[in-house]
């Protein structure tokens, strides 16, 4: 499934149990209940990305195993009829049972939306305030774009994640990091790579914001990355500005899953 959601009222993608043994509202839990209603059988969902609380998605990829082969177009209608207004299944395909959206993912693309110069209150997001972060500072977009190019390639991003990140390695490959002006006071930061650490994209965005303010020079980014020191990178930006835009797999363009029951070795 390709799934979109407004992450505002969710505690992230992954199903969680509160210390008092009550379930927190997560996308996985809500979506799983809808799938069970339609399939009339227990299912376990696997998502390509464990988005954090408040983070949105336009192209989350999710799989589940089922013996009941209902046509994909009917599944789209069925799932959406049981889902709340802040989650929507956009597309369904049948894939090989060994397909895994986590291990078979080759890259993911995120977009961070930012309004700047918001010391003028008329520039502060209103109707899109749930999807766009803001800063009072007017930012130098050209310097931010120059700095963004230094994130490209394989680096140790230990300074761009939480200390208790829980990953075996903090080395990641970034294939795209671009900053563009959508209008006079709106910026889009597009970042793509093979995988990301906890809060990594939001910290990269926070570091680029400091470049835009003039607090960090563009050519200091490599030194900050090599230091592996969280204190030298920028702040973790607000969750509402971030959205998972697409997930790509080998031999397939982003979010286009081919219908196939052939063994993986035959693809």
Q: Which pLDDT score is estimated for 254?
A: 66
pLDDT of the residue at 252: 65
pLDDT, residue 164, reads: 67
CA–CA separation, 3 vs 157, rounded Å?
28
- Is 252 within a domain? no
pLDDT for 261: 36
What's the token pair of residue 56? 């949105």
- The predicted pLDDT at position 260 comes to 37
Catalytic: 52? yes
Structural domain includes residue 55: yes
Q: Are residue 42 and residue 122 in the same domain, yes or no?
A: no
Per-residue pLDDT of 241-262, as tens digits, reads 999 999 999 866 666 654 333 3
Query: What pLDDT is attached to residue 259?
Result: 38
- Given this model, what pLDDT does residue 266 score? 36
Q: Are residues 170 and 118 in the same domain?
A: yes
- Show the tokens assigned to 104: 């078979």
| Strand partners of residue 252 | 249
Domain boundary among 57, 86, 103: 103
Looking at the domain assignment, is residue 177 inside a domain?
Answer: yes
* C-alpha to C-alpha distance for 183 and 121, rounded to whole angstroms: 16
Task: Catalytic residue, from 52, 65, 86, 184: name it.
Answer: 52
Q: Is 80 left (phi over 0), alpha (psi -120 to 50) or beta?
A: alpha
Looking at the domain assignment, is residue 41 inside a domain?
A: yes
Q: What count of residues does the chain have?
A: 267
Is 148 found in the same domain as 171? yes
Q: Are residues 7 and 119 located together in one domain of the fold?
A: no
Q: Strands, E, within the chain: which ranges? A: 2-5, 46-47, 56-63, 87-91, 105-115, 133-134, 153-156, 171-183, 186-193, 242-249
Distance separating alpha carbons of residues 112 and 204, to the nearest angstrom: 10
Do 146 and 69 belong to one domain?
Answer: no
Query: CA-to-CA distance for 63 and 3, rounded, in angstroms?
Result: 10
Q: pLDDT for 140-167, tens place per residue?
A: 999 999 999 999 999 999 999 987 666 6
Instruction: Please indicate, yes or no, whether residues 65 and 143 belong to a single structural domain of this protein.
Output: no
Is there a domain that residue 260 lies in? no
What CATH number did the domain enclosing 39 receive? Answer: 3.30.70.580
Token pair 């970042």 is at which residue?
191
The pLDDT of residue 130 is: 97
CATH number, position 118: 3.30.70.660
Based on the fold, state whether residues 111 and 240 are members of the same structural domain: yes
261, part of any domain: no
Residues 95 and 119 in one domain: no
Give pLDDT < 70 ranges for the chain.
18-21, 164-167, 251-267
- State which of 69, 103, 137 marks the end of a domain: 103
Same domain, 63 and 150: no
Do 171 and 120 belong together in one domain? yes
The two three-digit tokens of residue 27, written as one number? 């996308």
208 and 166 within one domain: yes
Its sign, for the CA torsion 173, 139, 234, 198, is negative
Split into its structural domains, the chain has a count of: 2
- Are residues 120 and 238 both part of a single domain? yes
Q: Which domain holds residue 184?
A: 107-246
């Amino acid at each position: 499934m390709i799934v979109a959601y407004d992450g505002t009222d969710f505690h992230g993608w992954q199903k969680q149990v509160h210390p008092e043994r009550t379930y927190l509202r997560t996308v996985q839990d809500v979506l799983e209940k809808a799938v069970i209603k339609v399939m009339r059988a227990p299912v376990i969902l696997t998502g390509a990305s464990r988005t954090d609380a408040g983070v949105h998605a336009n192209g989350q990829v999710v799989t589940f195993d089922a013996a009941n082969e209902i046509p994909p177009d009917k599944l789209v209608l069925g799932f959406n009829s049981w889902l709340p207004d802040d989650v929507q299944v956009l597309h369904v395909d049948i894939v090989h049972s060994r397909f895994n959206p986590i291990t078979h993912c080759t890259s993911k693309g995120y977009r961070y939306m930012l309004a700047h110069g918001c010391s003028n209150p008329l520039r502060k997001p209103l109707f899109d305030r749930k999807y766009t972060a803001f800063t009072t500072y007017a930012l130098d977009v050209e310097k931010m774009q120059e700095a963004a190019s230094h994130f490209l390639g394989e680096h140790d991003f230990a300074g761009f994640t939480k200390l208790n990140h829980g990953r075996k390695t903090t080395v990641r490959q970034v294939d795209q990091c671009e900053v563009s002006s959508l209008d006079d006071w709106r910026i889009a930061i597009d970042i793509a790579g093979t995988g990301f650490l906890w809060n990594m994209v939001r910290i990269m965005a926070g570091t680029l914001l400091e470049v835009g303010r003039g607090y960090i020079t563009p050519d200091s980014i490599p030194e900050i990355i090599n230091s592996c020191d969280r204190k030298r990178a920028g702040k973790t930006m607000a969750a509402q500005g971030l959205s998972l835009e697409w997930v790509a797999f080998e031999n397939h363009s982003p979010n286009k899953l081919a219908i196939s029951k052939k063994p993986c070795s035959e693809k």
